[in-house]
C-alpha cells in the first residue's frame, strides 16, 4: 500500500526499509533480562557481565547495555516512548497477554485500526508495546492519502481467547516500530522526513508517524510530556534502521553529507544523531 507521497518523493527511503535492533541503557541487567525473556517472550541469545542480547530464533532484536552509573542518570530528557515488538498473529498476541497477566501488569491496550496493541512498562520505566498488524488491504486511507491510525477500545477477551499459552514470542516477531519522545516535531520532520527520507503517514495532536514503503509507521514521535533536554540517562541508547541494499545506503549517505548532520562510518554502515542526540544506526540487509 503506497500513498501519493510515496510516489512523488524521489528521496524517499525504499520499500523494504525496516527497524532492526534497539538498545537500552539499564541499571539492573539481570532484572531487565528476565523481564524481556519472561514477559515479552524474547529468547536470551548472549549474555556477559555488561550486556544481554535478546531476540527470536537467531535474530537479535534488543540489546541491554548495563551502565554502572545508570541509576544516577535517571532519564529526564528526550528519548524512548516505547519499543514496539510486532508479533505475526492474534494467537501470538493472546500469548503475550497471558504472559503479561501472569508475570506483570498490563498498562493499556488499543485497536489502532491498523493494528491491535498491548502496552506495558518495563522495570526501569521504558515503554513497551506488543502488537500485531491487520492485513494492509484493511487499512483505511483518508482523503489526503494518509493512513488512519485510531485509538479504539480493544476486546481483550477476544485477544486472550486466541492465545495458546506460548511462553516465547514465535518466529516472525520483530521490532515493527519505535516511538520517540522529542523536543520539537518541526525538528523531527526536518531530520527524519526531509533529510533521512521517511514519509509522514499520519498525525495526531502533538505526534507524527513516519515510515518507509507505505507502512503505517516505523517511527512515531510525540511532544506529549514536553521534554526538552537531550537524550541521556537510562533508556534508549540507540536504534537501528535496516536498508534493503547498498544503493539505498549510498543515497542516504549522499543526502547526509549535504546536510548539517555529522556522519560516522562503521564496519556495518553509518551512524548519525538527530536534534535530540538520539543515535540512529543504518546498515544494509544481510
Q: Structural domains in the chain?
A: 4-284 (3.10.180.10)
Residue ranges of E strands in 139-277:
174-181, 199-204, 207-211, 219-222, 235-243, 264-265, 269-273
Among 84, 173, 155, residue whose Cα is nearest residue 126: 84
pLDDT tens for each residue of 74-132: 566 899 999 999 999 999 999 999 999 999 999 999 999 999 999 999 999 999 999 99
pLDDT string in tens for the chain (286-residue length): 334 444 457 789 999 999 999 999 999 999 999 999 999 999 999 999 999 999 999 999 999 999 876 554 556 689 999 999 999 999 999 999 999 999 999 999 999 999 999 999 999 999 999 999 999 999 999 888 899 999 999 999 999 999 999 999 999 999 999 999 999 999 999 999 999 999 999 999 999 999 999 999 999 999 999 988 777 678 999 999 999 999 999 999 999 988 889 999 999 999 999 999 999 999 999 9
Looking at residue 6, its pLDDT comes to 43
Beta strands in 87-135 (DSSP E): 108-111, 115-121, 127-133
The rounded distance, in Å, linking the Cα atoms of 194 and 164 is 44
| Four-point Cα dihedral 212, 88, 174, 217, nearest 10 | 30
Classify 257 as helix, strand or coil. Answer: helix
Q: Torsions phi, psi of 184, nearest 5? A: -150, 125
Q: Note whether 211 and 4 are within 8 A (CB).
A: no
Instruction: Copy the grid coordinates of residue 166.
Output: 506460548
Place of cell 537500552: 24
pTM here is 0.94
Amino acid at each position: 500500500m503506497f500513498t501519493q507521497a510515496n510516489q512523488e518523493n524521489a528521496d524517499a527511503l525504499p520499500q523494504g526499509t525496516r527497524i532492526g535492533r534497539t538498545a537500552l541503557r539499564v541499571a539492573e541487567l539481570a532484572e531487565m533480562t528476565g523481564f524481556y525473556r519472561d514477559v515479552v517472550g524474547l529468547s536470551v541469545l548472549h549474555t556477559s557481565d555488561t550486556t544481554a542480547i535478546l531476540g527470536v530464533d537467531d535474530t537479535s532484536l534488543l540489546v541491554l547495555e548495563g551502565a554502572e552509573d545508570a541509576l544516577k542518570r535517571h532519564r529526564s530528557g528526550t528519548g524512548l516512548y516505547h519499543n514496539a515488538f510486532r508479533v505475526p498473529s492474534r494467537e501470538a498476541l493472546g500469548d503475550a497477554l497471558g504472559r503479561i497477566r501472569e508475570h506483570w501488569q498490563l498498562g493499556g491496550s488499543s485497536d489502532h485500526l491498523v493494528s491491535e496493541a498491548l502496552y506495558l512498562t518495563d522495570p526501569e520505566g521504558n515503554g513497551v508495546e506488543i502488537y500485531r498488524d491487520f492485513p494492509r488491504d484493511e487499512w483505511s486511507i483518508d482523503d489526503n492519502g494518509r493512513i488512519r491510525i485510531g485509538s479504539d477500545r480493544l476486546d481483550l477477551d477476544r485477544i486472550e481467547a486466541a492465545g495458546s499459552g506460548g511462553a516465547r514470542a514465535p518466529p516472525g516477531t520483530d521490532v515493527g516500530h519505535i516511538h520517540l519522545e522529542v523536543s520539537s516535531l518541526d525538528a523531527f520532520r526536518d531530520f527524519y522526513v526531509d533529510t533521512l527520507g521517511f514519509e509522514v503517514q499520519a498525525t495526531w495532536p502533538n505526534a507524527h508517524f513516519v515510515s518507509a514503503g507505505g507502512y503505517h509507521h516505523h517511527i512515531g514521535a510525540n511532544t506529549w510530556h514536553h521534554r526538552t533536554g537531550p537524550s541521556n540517562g537510562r533508556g534508549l541508547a540507540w536504534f537501528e534502521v535496516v536498508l534493503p541494499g547498498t544503493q539505498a545506503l549510498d543515497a542516504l549517505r549522499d543526502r547526509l553529507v549535504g546536510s548539517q548532520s555529522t556522519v560516522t562510518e562503521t564496519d556495518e554502515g553509518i551512524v548519525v544523531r538527530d536534534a535530540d542526540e538520539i543515535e540512529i544506526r543504518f546498515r544494509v540487509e544481510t
